[in-house]
Every structure is written in structure tokens, then in C-alpha cells.
Amino acid sequence: MGAIHDLAGLIARHQSTDGMRQTEVPGMWLIRSAQPTRPLQVLHVPAVCIIAQGAKVVTLGGDNYRYDPAKYLVVSVDLPLTGSVTEASPGEPYLCLRVDLDPQLLAAIDLELPPSPSKPVRGAAARGLYLSQTTPEMVDVGTRLVRLLDTPQDIAILAPLLVRELHYRLLTGEHAGVVRHIACGEGRLAQITRAICWIKNNYNRPLSVERLAGEVGMSASTLHEHFKSVTAMSPLQYQKQLRLQEARRLMLTGLKDAARAGHAVGYESSSQFSREYARFFGMPPGKDSMRLREVMLDGGPSVLQGMP
């Protein structure tokens, strides 16, 4: 476990306070928490998250996924998740490295790889996140990425090579078949990814599942089945969570009050917005935004970005 301890030491040195920070390496984030956290709902972008110290649990559709230094998390599509740090203390804080995934880079590397039995086939789409055993190779490339922060003059040349290596490790690792679904740009996962992008671009408009199915070349029933397989929710449930997340962001950044935030994300009824917000986040919009502003004062803007 010496290698993972080395990674933990590097993260601790470059992220000495609690919160989440985007580093000088494009697409790389460092995260620290000196205490367990309450469950927080976030929209998680496609990324790989390697914990060097501590543990976390994320929940999707009622299923819990616990990861720690022995397992890393891969999120393959934009997913509304609930997450909480479960193991952390001032002496041994939670330390995590997140690297955002690049589907185009995955596709380019996949074209260079020899044919493999794990090549994706058309059929049911895989769940949009998975846990995998943390290998020495993954720890090594993560460590070298973080170590680049010690020599910023090397970042422009070496960071793209190391990010490429990390994507290569995913394509040749334990869940290579799932990752290749991301890379190939075809099949059910690709169609669901396009559906998610359409919802994200039109989240504040009424959603017709039939129209969405036509946009991505599926029947309404097939879209519903595979969308739920990937995201653990229906397209309408996904849109609702996306609306509520965006309304929360608008309130936290001071751009809108509760009533205007609800209207901005597509709610015509303020009372309906307040009811659904309280049901999802556990408290009314105004009270929730006040609580999260206090969290932000302690941990920075990570609450808006989704702490992996």
C-alpha cells in the first residue's frame, strides 16, 4: 500500500484545506475533507475518482456504492448522485483525485487497440457508474499526474500523455467492455448519452418522451427501459432532478430567489416547486440554500460542483 500512501501525501500537500479544487492540470481535481459529510445531491460529470485515503458512499436509484483506496469509481454519463464521505478525520482526512473523462480520447485510443472479446455489442446498456479494483498501474498514473503540480513547467507537455495513459488503463482494465461503450459512440449507451444531452439542453422545457425517443432513434418503450438501466430513473425523473439541481445552483450563487429559480428551471407553480424541492433535498428551498451557504463558507464552492 506504499504507492497509495505516496498519492495521499501528494494530494495532502497540494490540497491542505477542505474542499474541491480544479488544478493546473486540465480536467484534474483534488478533494479533501477532514470529517465525514452529510449526504449531498449533485450532478456528477463523467470522471474517474481515485480515493487515496478515507472512504465515500454514493447512491444511485437506491443502490449504494462504497469506494476507498481499494476501489475507484467511474461515472460514464452525467448522473444525479447522492454522496457522503464516510471515513475521514483531522488526522487522516479523506483525500481523492478526480480526472474528468474525455469520450473522444477514449474513442481515439480504442481505435488503436487490437480486437478484443470485450468489444461492446449492441444490447442492454450498462449502469452509468461502476466500481473497479484499484490497480498499481492506476495508482502510478494518478501519482505522476499529481506530481506534475510540483513542476508546472512540465504540465503542458506531460499532462496530456498521462491523461491518455489513464484513459488507456480504463480501456484495458477490469471493466474494459463498459468503457468501450463510452468510446464507440454507438449502441444503447451512446443513444442514452445523447438523450441525456438533449434533456440537459432543454431541461426547462416540457419533456415529451416520444419526442425524445425520436431524437435519439429509439422507440419510447425502449428509451424508457435503457434510460432506467443506465441512470436508475426515468427520463422525466432525470429531468426533475436536473431542474432541482439547477434551481439550487441559481439560489446558491445569488442569481435567483426561490420563486424565480423555480420559474427559471421550468416550474409554473411556486408551490409545486417548493414541495418537490423539499421532497428531494429534505428541506424547503430557502432553508436549504441558507444551510449550504454555511457549508460553502467551510468548504469552498465544492458543494456546487459535486465533491467526488
Q: Read off φ and ψ for residue 64, nearest 5 degrees.
A: -100, 140
Q: Which residues in the chain land under pLDDT 70?
A: 1, 116-125, 183-187, 294-308
The CATH number that domain 237-305 falls under is 1.10.10
Work out the angle between the directed axes of helices 209-216 and 187-201 (0-180°, nearest 10).
Answer: 130
Domain 2-181: CATH superfamily, name plus number: Jelly Rolls (2.60.120.10)
pLDDT score for 279: 92
**C-alpha atoms less than 13 angstroms from C-alpha of 143 in its C-beta half-sphere:** 16
pLDDT of residue 123: 47
Beta-carbon contacts of residue 151 (< 8 Å; ≥ 6 apart):
none
Q: Are 43 and 306 in contact (CB under 8 A)?
A: yes
Nearest C-alpha neighbor of 82 from the set 126, 32, 38, 52: 38
CA-to-CA separations, 159 to 156, 172, 178, 286, 308, in angstroms, rounded: 6, 20, 25, 42, 21
Cβ pair 37, 85 in contact under 8 A = yes
